[in-house]
Chains A and B, each alone.
Chain A
Amino acid sequence: MEKLSSDNQQFIKRTFPIVGMHCASCARLIERKLIRTPGVLNATVNYGSENASVESDTEVSDEQLAKSVEEAGYKAIIGQGAKDKEQRTPEEIKEEEKKKELQNLKVKVIISSIISVLIFLGSFPEWFTFVPKILTNPYVLLALTTPVQFWAGRSFYLATWSGLRNRTASMDTLIAVGTSAAYGYSFFSALFGGHMYFDTAAVIITLILLGRYLEAKAKAHTSDAIKKLLGLQAKTARVVRGNKEIDIPIEEVEVGDLIRVRPGEKIPVDGSIVEGISSIDESMVTGESIPVDKKPGDVVIGATINKSGSFVFKATKVGADTMLSRIVKMVAEAQSSRAPIQRLVDIISSYFVPAVLMIAVATFVVWYDFGPTTASGLMALTNTIAVLIIACPCAMGLATPTAIMVGVGRGAEKGILVKDAESLEIANKVKVAIFDKTGTLTKGVPVLASYTGKTGTSKEEVLRIAASLEKGSEHALGEAILEKAKEKGFVLKKVQGFKAIPGYGIEGNIDGKRYILGNRALMKKDGVDYKLTEKEIEKLESEGKTVVLLAKKRILIGLIAIADTLKEGAREVIKSLNEAGVETWMITGDNERTAKAIARQSGIKNVLAEVLPDQKAQKVKEFKGKQDRVVAFLGDGINDAPALAVSDVGIAMGTGTDVAIESAGITLLNRDIRSILTAFNLSRVTLSVIKQNLVWAFGYNVILIPVAMGILYPFFGWLLNPALAAFAMAASSISVVGNSLRLKRIRI
């Protein structure tokens, strides 16, 4: 339903299905009826899509519209209780259709299996002497085969026909032509005498249907990841309205709603806590198993589970904007994208089926002309059928997409969000990994590393005074000092005459004494002598720390070192990459000294310091230009977005900004830098499964089509039985899907 407004008057547009129309004039009739309904501005009914589209003012209810349609003699699927099939989402229809199709296939497989066994027994009385005579009668065999050929095999004919009308061919064409040849020849043999191939036709159809059944069952599991993600969604939300709390469907939650979440419940949508504290299990979205503590002001993600406390949060993102919806969308998009390796397959598959048809004709001619004189016609026929049946374009078509689907899904479960197939395919070929420093390699939050007292002042006193002074400032470095003081449980002192001096530091009076806190420049300006501690300051700075000096009445009384610390696991990641021969680089806007210090700590070999944000992308391009190496860029901030986009594989941290995530090919939702290795591994195993699939699918066709043609006959006297060909064909596509599903269990 869409709300429109015009001339200050609200009206709505509704589209709903109509059942029971059997001609275009019915549509006109309903249209007229709808337009005459009070409050309706305009109505159109489409006979083709069986939908009505009605614009009306908001007063008109669904029931009124339904009644009008009913009066015209039809049924509108609208309003409550309208659970007709047209009301379901395409996904639901798909589920149901799949179920129906599977059920249908199952019945066909069972019945045609039983008949095929009978036909098989009757076709070889010399082997199965116990078989009643009647089964060997040609007319009985014909009668048994006919339903298998045209009832069980009907779908092959339908598909062939619809393809031929468009001058295209599919594997159904091959099966229909192959089995029809066997059936048609046998039909005349049954009437006029000669060899019969009823068993071939029936067994081929049965086996291929069985293959389709198994393949459909297996394929359903390739999209499990999405189903699992959608299943995480909460169904209702408890919204606070005035003094009351009411449960409403999650679809009706609006931005700004206050929502109560009790312990053990799922958080319905994204938002931020306004009241209460809790610990929240975010593993379903981030893959991180340790619950996260949250307090007022903290962000909560929909579909995560509230473990302990009860809290109220304000909805900030609902519907398609929530983190979960966006993840589902990205996973679905990635699963539909094309891996570069697929391009060749696409080209081949567009020529494959017609080529096989031509090969089949050629096979017939060659065998007819040059085959053994006694039975050249028969051998020509069986070999032609074998060629048609063994060719399996399906396996080629399924090789890459199924592996990508399972691989992307597996990544999502591990908190690695892959945005396109291409990133997944090439991530394991990365030769240069460029890390952004702040927020990617480091935590991005400065923490107080050390503090010392000078000229007789205790270090505790230094921290207490510094924290008291910083209380009014909003500087990131100040946060680090305050955080430490809070941790120590210090009671802060009252500050008078507070003043921030941008670029230098701050000043203020405590207990009547004037203090200044800031950098060297501030000390110099104020005439504080710090030369004696210069060495100590330089040493701290060489470790990548930022040093803040505290002076009382022009005398230096303390030093505070603040540093951004490495992320857990960063060193491990760099070490693994270095060992794997990947060139590691760090890129940062920070000064060289700090950059080098972090590089040393993390083990990163190369540093690019003092790079302006807008130059990052340029640097990545330069790397790409050199020797055509695959370059990965790892970052988290808005300023990293261009670099993430131009790199071959952009990897964004899950803690990063939306812009960064949008620009990246891979996002590490679990915020764990170690997942980079997992992502590379996932890429490696997925690619190897794709390669196995392709080798298998191509190899299968390249080797077995010539065998079916009878190429081995002159040397060994080997020919391929068409029924065996059907078995191989069915097995080949199932094995491709099965191999892709293996990705679900592989250790990464």
Chain B
Amino acid sequence: MDIDKILVTITGAGLIAFIWWFFFGKKEVEVVAGESIDVVVDGGYKPASIRIKKGKTTTLKIKRRDPNSCLEEIILPDFKIKKFLPLNREIEISLTPQKTGEYGFHCGMNMYHGKIIVG
């Protein structure tokens, strides 16, 4: 095998490993919400993992800073909520979960994800 091919193979393998680590290896930082929590939408959801209490009302104060139209809607399917997020304007979503568990939320196109952990 030529040296260039070996180099390409090694680089490729390294790149694949990097992609794996980059996208799947990230640690999710779980944030415990009080009565309300600020969520910034900027290339994803910050925080993307929110812990809230069962039976208590928690308000998510969501503000989109990212002009990417993919993120313009937030959908919480388990709570039957779909909200349009105007750029740079705070939108409030109040949740009063009655069941414990993990409930995902995502953008209008289902590309950016976050989750709400009810405990």
What is the interface of chain A, defined by CB distance below 8 A to chain B?
Answer: 48-51, 86, 90-91, 93-94, 97, 101, 155, 158-159, 161-172, 332-338, 342, 345-346, 349-351, 353-354, 357-358, 361-362, 364-365, 368-369, 393-394, 396-398, 401, 420-421
The answer to whether A369 and B5 touch across the interface, beta carbons within 8 angstroms, is yes
The answer to whether A169 and B23 touch across the interface, beta carbons within 8 angstroms, is yes
B55 lies within 8 A of chain A by Cβ:
no
Residues A163 and B44 in contact in the complex (CB < 8 Å), given A170-B112, A369-B1:
yes
Which one of A342, A350, A358, A369 contacts B77 once the chains associate, using CB atoms below 8 Å? A342
Q: Within 8 Å CB of B19, what residues of A?
A: 354, 357-358, 361
User: How far is the CB of B100 from the nearest CB of chain A, in Å?
Assistant: 18
Which one of A94, A158, A397 contacts B110 once the chains associate, using CB atoms below 8 Å? A397
The answer to whether A364 and B110 touch across the interface, beta carbons within 8 angstroms, is no
The answer to whether A336 and B43 touch across the interface, beta carbons within 8 angstroms, is no
Task: For A366, give the chain B residue with the smallest CB separation.
Answer: B12
Q: Within 8 Å CB of B78, what residues of A?
A: 338
The answer to whether A336 and B77 touch across the interface, beta carbons within 8 angstroms, is yes
The answer to whether A161 and B110 touch across the interface, beta carbons within 8 angstroms, is no
Task: For A46, give the chain B residue with the smallest CB separation.
Answer: B90
B44, B48, B76, B90, most chain A CB atoms within 10 A: B44
Q: How far is the CA of A5 from the CA of B55 in the complex (A)?
A: 28
12 new A-B contacts, CB < 8 A, other than A90-B84, A159-B68, A364-B12, are A155-B68, A158-B67, A158-B68, A168-B112, A170-B109, A172-B68, A332-B82, A337-B77, A358-B19, A365-B9, A369-B5, A369-B9
Q: How far is the CA of A172 from the CA of B69 in the complex (A)?
A: 11
B16 lies within 8 A of chain A by Cβ:
yes
As a 0/1 sequence over residues 1 to 45 of chain B, the CB contacts with chain A under 8 angstroms (1 = contact) are: 100010011001101100110111010000000000000001110
Which one of B24, B72, B80, B112 contacts A354 once the chains associate, using CB atoms below 8 Å? B24
User: How far is the CB of A166 from the nearest CB of chain B, in Å?
Assistant: 3
Task: For A339, give the chain B residue with the smallest CB separation.
Answer: B77
Q: How far is the CA of A334 from the CA of B82 in the complex (A)?
A: 10
As a 0/1 sequence over residues 63 to 93 of chain B, the CB contacts with chain A under 8 angstroms (1 = contact) are: 1001111101001111011111111111100
The answer to whether A333 and B80 touch across the interface, beta carbons within 8 angstroms, is yes
Task: For A49, give the chain B residue with the smallest CB separation.
Answer: B90
User: How far is the CB of B19 from the nearest CB of chain A, in Å?
Assistant: 5
- Which applies to chain A's interface (DSSP): helix, strand, loop or mixed? helix
Task: For B8, give the chain A residue with the smallest CB separation.
Answer: A368
The answer to whether B110 and A346 touch across the interface, beta carbons within 8 angstroms, is yes
Q: How far is the CA of A504 from the CA of B75 in the complex (A)?
A: 59
The answer to whether A170 and B70 touch across the interface, beta carbons within 8 angstroms, is yes
Q: Within 8 Å CB of B67, what residues of A?
A: 158
B106 lies within 8 A of chain A by Cβ:
yes
The answer to whether A167 and B80 touch across the interface, beta carbons within 8 angstroms, is no
Which one of A51, A159, A336, A368 contacts B81 once the chains associate, using CB atoms below 8 Å? A336
Q: Within 8 Å CB of B26, what residues of A?
A: 167
15 A-B residue pairs with CB within 8 Å: A51-B90, A161-B43, A165-B43, A169-B23, A334-B80, A336-B75, A338-B78, A345-B110, A346-B106, A358-B16, A361-B16, A365-B12, A369-B5, A397-B110, A398-B109
The answer to whether A172 and B106 touch across the interface, beta carbons within 8 angstroms, is no
The answer to whether B44 and A168 touch across the interface, beta carbons within 8 angstroms, is yes
Q: How far is the CA of A397 from the CA of B109 in the complex (A)?
A: 6
User: How far is the CB of A127 from the nearest CB of chain B, in Å?
Assistant: 32
Q: Within 8 Å CB of A167, what residues of B?
A: 22-23, 26
Which one of A48, A97, A362 contacts B16 once the chains associate, using CB atoms below 8 Å? A362
Q: How far is the CA of A438 from the CA of B89 in the complex (A)?
A: 51
As a 0/1 sequence over residues 85 to 119 of chain B, the CB contacts with chain A under 8 angstroms (1 = contact) are: 11111110000000000001010011111000000
Q: Within 8 Å CB of B90, what residues of A?
A: 48-49, 51
User: How far is the CB of B65 from the nearest CB of chain A, in Å?
Assistant: 9
The answer to whether A168 and B84 touch across the interface, beta carbons within 8 angstroms, is no
Q: Within 8 Å CB of A171, what residues of B?
A: 109, 111
Q: Within 8 Å CB of B112, what residues of A?
A: 163, 166, 168, 170
Q: Within 8 Å CB of A394, what residues of B?
A: 109
Q: Within 8 Å CB of A354, what residues of B?
A: 19-20, 22-24
Lowest 6 A-B CB distances belong to which pairs? A162-B43, A338-B77, A336-B82, A166-B44, A365-B12, A333-B80
